[in-house]
Amino acid sequence: MCLGMPRFLRQFGLRTLLIFCTLAAVCFGLWRWHMTWVDQQHEVASQIADEGGSIRWKTWGPQWIHQAFGSYYFSEIVAVDLNHKRIGSKYLQLLRQIPTLEELYLPGTDLQGQSLEVLGDLPKLRKLALWNTRLKNDTLQHVGRLKHLDTLDIHRTAMTEAGLVHLRNHPRLKVIRHDMQISEVGVDHLSTIKNLQMTHLVLHGGREKTFRQLREDFRVLVLKVKAPETDQWAKYLAGHPTLVQLNVSDALVQNDQLAGLLSANTLQTLSLQNVPMDDTAISQIASATRLTRLSLSGTDVTGTGLLNSLGPSATEVVIRNNWIKLIDRSAKRDVDWSGSLTAADLPALANCRQATSLTFYSTNFPGTIDFTFLPELKSLEKIRIGFVADGPIMKNMGSLKKLETVVLFLYSNVTPDELAELASAKSLEVLVLPVSKVSDEHLKAIGTITQLKRLSIQGASVTDEGMSSIVALMNLEELDIAGCLQLTDESLRYVGQLKKLRKLDIANTNTTDEGLEYLYGMPNLSYVETTGTRLTTEGLRKLYDSLR
């Protein structure tokens, strides 16, 4: 026995003591190795920062260790972001020293495919972004070996669907963001990735087998199909468990299968372009209650057929050259249709009995425009009409008891008698006639619509004498006579008599400080637009002082 040995060690045998010392040495060695490794990690992080990259760290271990010793030696790099940084293959080798890396972002870098061999030393990588690079299919050879990868972004690269062969049967990949053209070859590769959840997929062509795979193997949200090689596509996409948006172009379809697609009631957005569906198929859309967006272009659906089927539920209607938009506020649905639209389709607007707003704008509308359908639209509150054509409009508006707003622009043929018809529309409060041929005679007729609260005759050819007619509009709160170049200061004599007027626009007129005196002391006037006039700062100050 060694008499010099401390008493607390004498109770242990030599073998136990040797084991204890060995374990202590191993632990010390491991800790020393870990300290060296962490120092190296910080050195790598410093080099990445010097190149403009960013690092994200993750700490590990119980909180008391961090409180006692700090977090320096209890953290590891989990993310590196080199977004649009000028780095070369040699610099990328730094990543080999970060086996803890879980996320790597390399978009916009000027890397070559062989430089991505470094991925083989990153076994924990879960997210990889390579978008906006010149990388090609050979890159995916290295990506496919990342067994923990769940998110891959390769849009705006030179990669094609042929490269997807390297991702076949990937065990964990869930998200692939790309913009490559996919055919049945790409669909076949992607269908082997069982956990894949596609947000967007663009398919070119595709036979019946391809669409069967889309239904059975793909959890896709948005699908765009171009020129499918089968007319059975609608059968396989009907009731797809995840699909919410479908865009199909240049495709044949069977009416009964399209009806089945709609009746499955799973889609929220449907766009059909150059798909020969007809008025029979459109009648099924009313039952698709989840559908919030419908776009039809180049189909066999007629304007009359659209208005007959979907017009009764529309709350807003917009008609333009060869274009109809129907908005159903109660169902939160928008319908856009484009096709051959003529005057013969307009009587079908009588179906839109729930519409509160109608906008009709055309510069080249075939046929004689007839607005005799207007009295049927008894819910109308707002009408906007803009075109240059013959034919009366106003006489069909007087019976609309809920009508509040009428806007006529680019209309050159409205007569004073037609305007006078609006006096019987007792709810009418707003009349806007911009860029229309309004004369003193028209203004005299407008003076009979005493319920008006807002009037705009911007750019009209009216004179001071004609302005005397607005004195009868004692309920007027807003008046726009901007650009009426024939008016002088004398016209404001009549404006000053409108005691309820709050807003006045006299921009680009010949008004001077002398004319402003007619506006002094108006009880409710709070805003005057004077751009482009000959008014002085002093004249405006006197006006505003009088209105306080």
Measuring CA to CA, which residue among 457, 315, 309 is closest to residue 382? 315
**What is the per-residue pLDDT for 109?**
87
Rounded CA separation 117/135 (Å)? 13
Helical H runs in 191-249?
Answer: 208-217, 233-237
pLDDT in tens, 1-20: 445 555 555 555 666 656 66
Q: Tokens standing for 457? A: 């005759």
Q: Model-level pTM?
A: 0.79
Measuring CA to CA, which residue among 83, 127, 66, 82 is closest to residue 101? 127
> Going by DSSP bridges, is the β-strand pair 245-249/269-273 parallel, antiparallel, or unpaired?
parallel
**What is the per-residue pLDDT for 1?**
45
**What is the per-residue pLDDT for 65?**
73
**What is the per-residue pLDDT for 115?**
80
Work out the burial of residue 384: count CB atoms within 10 Å of its CB; fewer than 13 is exposed, 13-18 middle, 19 or more buried: middle
Helix (H) or strand (E) holding 316: strand 316-320
CB neighbour burial string for 70-90, b if at least 16 within 10 angstroms, e if fewer: eeebbbbbbbbbbeebebeee
Residue by residue, DSSP assigns 416-433 as HHHHHHGGG-TT--EEE-
Task: Name the β-bridge partners of 77.
Answer: 57
Counting every residue written for the chain, the total comes to 548
Rounded CA separation 440/484 (Å)? 12
Strands (E), 183-315: 197-204, 219-226, 245-249, 269-273, 293-297
pLDDT in tens, 42-78: 888 788 888 788 889 888 778 777 666 667 777 888 9
Regions of the chain with pLDDT less than 50: 1-2
**What is the per-residue pLDDT for 408?**
85
